[in-house]
């Protein structure tokens, strides 16, 4: 789904709070409940985010392949 991809790409590549994610969602006209649902799916279904603690998330960035050099 394009909305989830756009939302995910707009999230910071560092640790961020759910409040920051909600601000980004609001800018993209995504409701609060949809944003929380999307955060949950990005963690559990797609394994693209990791919940560090309550209300704090970090992107799971792909590992760099050093053998390509």
Average pLDDT over residues 21-34: 97
Q: How confident is the model at residue 48 (pLDDT cuts 50, 70, 90)?
A: very high
Specify the pLDDT at position 49. 97
Q: Of 16, 24, 10, which is closest to residue 50 (Cα–Cα)?
A: 16
Is residue 57's pLDDT more than 60?
A: yes
Specify the pLDDT at position 64. 62
Specify the pLDDT at position 61. 79
Structure tokens at 9: 């790409």
Average pLDDT over residues 24-33: 97
């Amino acid at each position: 789904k394009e909305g989830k991809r756009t939302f995910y790409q707009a999230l910071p590549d560092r640790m961020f709070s759910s409040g920051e994610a909600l601000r980004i969602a609001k800018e993209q006209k995504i409701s609060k409940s949809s944003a929380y649902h999307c955060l949950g799916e990005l963690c559990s279904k797609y394994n693209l985010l990791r919940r560090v603690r309550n209300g704090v998330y970090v992107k799971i960035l792909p590992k760099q392949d050093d053998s390509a050099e």
